[in-house]
Structure 1
Amino acid sequence: MSWYSLDSNNHLLLKLHVQPGARCTEAVGLHGGALKIKLAAPPVDGKANDLLLKFLAKRFAVPLKHVALKRGAQSRHKVVEVRHAACAPEILLSALKTDS
């Protein structure tokens, strides 16, 4: 089971597991069938969701209006849609820190 897929309109769907309240915002690896992302924002007043969408828009080089939270507004488990992504979803994994 992959953490991303394409819908019928060829939009990218991402399955995410988010951890708000982290020191910095970053993708940290796979967590079950989802990509785990730490967010440097508290889970109050939609701040973590807003930061998540901005983070993804920047990584995929799309305007913020092309990134939408489809499911999980009040959950750690989220589905996010990215329209017209300028790069493949693996871009999120390429920035992972590796221990050598």
Structure 2
Amino acid sequence: MKKQVKVKPNSKNQSIEEAEDGSLTVHLKSPPVDGKANEELIQILSKKFNVSKSRIIIKSGLSSRNKLVEIDDG
């Protein structure tokens, strides 16, 4: 499954909001430095969708706030 994800780094709280169109807004505590926000994004998505971290791939937008994430929910 593919998801459009908007990332908000440096947030006070870690949370996920799902819009009506199925896209996600993810608030991350990590700063967007050295891939830390991307690592936290993969970790929080693996918990939400109950899949291992290795089954989540950021397809596009590695250095952008808007990402396309592919989740292999098998």
TM-score by length of 1: 0.67
Partner of 1:16: 5
**CA RMSD for the aligned pairs?**
1.7
Could you tell me how far apart the structure 2 residues matched to 1:62 and 1:28 are? 18
The code of the aligned residue for 1:58 comes to K
Provide the aligned length of Structure 1 versus Structure 2: 73
**Structure 1 residues without counterparts, runs of 5 or longer:** 1-11, 86-100
The percentage of counterpart residues that share the same residue type is: 34
Corresponding residue for 2:15? Answer: 26
Larger RCO (CA within 8 A; separation ≥ 6): 2
Q: Is the 8 A contact 2:3 2:22 kept in 1?
A: no
Pairing 1:1-100 to 2, within 5 Å after superposition: 12-30=1-19, 34-84=23-73
Runs of 4 or more, structure 1, over 3 Å off, are: none
1:16-49, Cα deviation, whole Å (9 max, x unpaired): 111000012111343x883211111100000000
In structure 2, do the counterparts of structure 1 residues 33 and 63 end up closer, same or farther at CA, with 3 Å as the change threshold?
closer
What letter matches 2:72 in structure 1? R
Between stretches 20-29 and 56-65, larger displacement belongs to 20-29
Q: Which has the larger radius of gyration?
A: 1
Cα distance in 2 between the residues matched to 1:58 and 1:33: 17
CA distance in 1, matches of 2:25, 2:45: 13
TM-score normalized by the length of structure 2: 0.88
Give, in whole Å, the separation in 1 of the partners of 2:17 and 2:2.
18
